[in-house]
Amino acid sequence: MHPPALWDWESGQRVVLASMERPENAAWVEESYASPDGERVAALARLEDGTFTALVNGEAWESTFEKAWHLRFSPDGRLTAIVQQDGMWTAAVDGEAWEENFDYMWGTQFSQDGSVIAACIQAGGEYGLCLEGVTWDTLYENASQCVLSADGKASAAVVQLSSLKPADLDAFQAGVFGVAVNGQKWDKNFVNCWTPAFDAQGAKVAAQVRTSLYDYSIAVDGAKWAESYTCVWEPRFNPATGKVVAPVRIKGAWGMAQDGQIIWEPKFVQCWHQAFSQDGKNIAAIVAPEFGAFTVAVNAKPWSISFPVVTDLVIGREGERVAALGNNNNTDWHVMVDGETWAGSWDMAWKPVISASGGHVAVKVEKGKRQTLVVDGRRYAQDFDKLFEPTFSPDGNKLLIRAIEKGSFVRIVAEVGTV
């Protein structure tokens, strides 16, 4: 598939598939997914003979499988599914199964450009990752929280490095967990590890680590920060400087540390889900200045608005826009952008999308079982049975809308200023 700059960005609406009715030879058809460019819509189908396949713009793959699940389009437009054949599991890409198969497979992931497809696997009671059909050389007794670098050249997971006998608390406290990168384990063991994360180049990995029953810190390539804390959350690398930033808890309050040094004073009841602008100069995070009242802080300064729940924080490439969702512990969802709440509330809202240029914000929302978009605070004129995540054109002036309405899959390119 062509990159977004080469997609069809001519304004207007086009019907890609006029009818999404179940084919006569299908017992059922599952949830639909749209390709990133909006030119295809796909769904898994169970055929009358008991086998599974995928329907792409109404046409079935030539291949069928005993079972199939987790249908997803990669960013480069390839259609993937996890499939079973002869009792073993593997990945099928555009209908072609990988040669290698496993006792089980799950958690498909993609590199940023979609050129690399990876998945978590279990083979012979051991766990690891498989990238483009190539499995880690070393598998482990346990592996979880698998992650792929942005370029797809590296992968990592939390792994169990030695066996534990039932109720062997001494061995557990001595540390049996670590992180494996491309199948090679860190030299250091910890009581627990969580959320490994790659830097922008895919060369370094940071993770939360637990060094005792009561002490937590961050480790980078196996080397723990000198400082320990009563709790930490997921570390992330500054995309510009490569420094590691993580929320930390000190004396009952949360702040932010960078390479072990405090950069946001611990003054929050909670602080997590930090996000960087591409130049690394702006950091946003979800914080609770007081118990039960969540908001967003940008460079340690919290917004004046708050909700009992705040989720789905995003920051623009240049840090020019910051958006999140707020909820009142019910079906009343609100969109927050740059410290203000957009007008209206929704039964459901999805993660905001910020244009790469132009600073526009679009949010998929639902009310009364009808889905539409809110763009820069304005509701789109149409609503739909089902809407997929919107995509801005590279210049930020147009918006690709992929939707299902009255049994048809439609592709719409709208001028942002007219939405």
pLDDT of 331: 80
Let me know if residue 364 belongs to a domain: no
pLDDT of 122: 98
Q: How many residues does the chain have?
A: 419
* Coil, strand or helix at 319: coil
Let me know if residue 398 belongs to a domain: no
Let me know if residue 341 belongs to a domain: yes
Residue with tokens 């920051």, as numbered in its chain: 315
Type of residue found at 355:
S
Q: Which residues pair with 184 in a beta bridge?
A: 181
Predicted TM-score (pTM) of the model is: 0.95
Average pLDDT, the chain: 96
Structure tokens at 341: 């709440």
Let me know if residue 43 belongs to a domain: no
Q: Which long-range contacts (CB under 8 A, 24 or more apart) does 159-162 make?
A: 159/127, 159/185, 161/185, 161/189, 162/189
pLDDT of 357: 86
Non-local (6+) Cβ contacts of 184 within 8 A are: 138
State how many domains the chain has. 1
The angle subtended at Cα 278 by Cα 277 and Cα 283, nearest 5°, is 25
pLDDT of 50: 96
Intervals of the chain under pLDDT 70: 1
Let me know: does 161 contact 172? Beta carbons within 8 Å: no
Let me know if residue 387 belongs to a domain: no
pLDDT of 358: 78
The domain in which residue 288 lies consists of 229-345
Q: What is the CATH number of the domain that holds 237?
A: 2.130.10.150
pLDDT of 167: 85
d(CA 235, CA 257) in angstroms, rounded, equals 9
d(CA 419, CA 416) in angstroms, rounded, equals 5
User: 50, 46, 39, 49: which is closest to 79 by C-alpha?
Assistant: 39
Structure tokens at 194: 């969580």
Let me know if residue 12 belongs to a domain: no
pLDDT of 2: 76
d(CA 391, CA 402) in angstroms, rounded, equals 9
User: 239, 152, 246, 243: which is closest to 194 by C-alpha?
Assistant: 246
pLDDT of 253: 98
Let me know if residue 143 belongs to a domain: no
Let me know if residue 276 belongs to a domain: yes
pLDDT of 77: 96
The angle subtended at Cα 377 by Cα 371 and Cα 378, nearest 5°, is 65
